[in-house]
Amino acid sequence: MILCPQSTEHPRGKQCQRLQVAKMSTSDKERTPQLLFVKALASRGRLEAITQQMGYHPQYLDSFLRMQHYLLHMDGPLPFDCRHYIAIMAAARHRCRYLVNLHVLQFLRVGGDPQWLRGLDCIPPKLRKLSEINKILAHRPWLVGKEHIEKLLKISEQSWSLAELVHAVVLLAHYHALASFAFGCGCEQDMCPEGRGVLKLTVPGSLCFCEVGNGCSQDLLHLNRKRSLDSCVELESLRERIHRLQVESETREEMRLPEREEGLDGEILGPADLSCYVQDPSFGYQDFAQRDENQTQIFRVQDYSWEDHGFSLVNRLYSDIGYLLDEKFRKVDGLQSCAMAKRQGCDHATFKRGIWNYIHCMFGIRYDDYDYAEVNHLLERILKLYIKTVTCSPEKMNPEMFERFWKQFKHSEKVHMNLLILEARLQAELLYALRAITHYMVS
């Protein structure tokens, strides 16, 4: 089983201590969502819809923000503009305009060439060579083999280094999975005609973390009467800081972006047709059972696992990213889902394991120590349909499907389900890609 046990100590030892979150006091824990939102807004200049959704689970959000910040903004093998363009390529595979637009803006902010936004024909050949592995990882990761790695690493002027390739693979897998989360939580539908996300300035202090049907309004500030006056003042101060940062960011954006729009005929959000960013747009998910059994075998975790193989390889070729990914896997495993599990008549660990293994099963990954007959007992048919759609074909999601999905549960529990989908899919893609890299290295 890939899900890591919940523990106060990181299983990787002392090397990971510098990446651990410092223990907080009780008052700090109460303010965690607000502080994380301020942190996200200060670094990005906006409070993204995905960040707001993940705010229902602040312990996970903290790990997510740190991993994504490291992936995009810290020292690494790839240039900053290439990182954002790879994110665009990955999100475009699932036609996720929300993520594409987000990273088009980031691409321009870090000095990316606006001509690249015209499509794959206008980017360097080295970057274009990623299109094949992007296509396969997004839809049928079991087809990735060492021949794909050899093609990218073949010595030439446009060849990739192993470190660059690992960085690129983590970016691709991350944004394929994040597209699933965006569609699954309805972020993609929360767009205005120009393609920008329409978000209200809110923090958890002004968000009501329960269903609107319970008579709670998200437009009012709900504070616990037991909180002290000091806590109220601190919360108001945080809200004012968020507002000030957002106003300053919008001012800077208005001053900078027009200069970078030259050559794009005044458009900053790229083409309306996202197919210009993908190779073979018609290529999509196919049930693993329909594969050519002579070419593709079942992936057995006992032979290649994240803990025993993937973690050490990715961490060796791209320093520290393994710790940050592993922490995210552990954090999502530590989230509680008592209400969902109670409905199925089991404990939350059994319920989450069923979901995780079901997602991996759709990608051909099997655990010899698991009875897959349990999946049909644990997961209702409508839930299995929802999971499969969000995991394999998120672009087919619509707001009605999300609203129909378990109406009796709180929104935070639906977000929890989508976090499980995000991490299980991410790990599945990484396992296939890292195994192919391992086979290349030992051949």
Residue 197 β-bridge partners: 191
Q: What torsion, rounded to 10 degrees, do the Cα atoms 264, 267, 270, 271 define? A: -90
For residues 148 and 132, give the distance between their C-alpha atoms in angstroms, rounded to a whole number: 8
Task: Give me the amino acid identity at 443.
Answer: S
Position 406 scores a pLDDT of 63
Closest CA to 188 of 375, 417, 443, 390: 390
Position 272 scores a pLDDT of 65
Tell me how far CA of residue 104 lies from CA of 268, 402, 417, in angstroms: 7, 27, 28
Position 49 scores a pLDDT of 86
For residues 171 and 403, give the distance between their C-alpha atoms in angstroms, rounded to a whole number: 30
For residues 344 and 231, give the distance between their C-alpha atoms in angstroms, rounded to a whole number: 39
As a whole number of Å, the end-to-end CA separation of the chain is: 28
CB neighbourhood size of 1 (10 A):
16
Position 196 scores a pLDDT of 41
Q: Which residue out of 82, 96, 187, 392 is catalytically annotated? A: 96
Distant-in-sequence, close-in-space partners of 45: CB < 8 Å, separation ≥ 6: 245, 246, 249, 250, 252, 253
Indicate the pTM of the whole model. Answer: 0.77
Position 291 scores a pLDDT of 76
For residues 182 and 188, give the distance between their C-alpha atoms in angstroms, rounded to a whole number: 6
For residues 173 and 429, give the distance between their C-alpha atoms in angstroms, rounded to a whole number: 6
Say whether 338 is catalytic: no
pLDDT < 50 positions in the chain: 1-31, 42, 45, 192-233, 235, 256-268
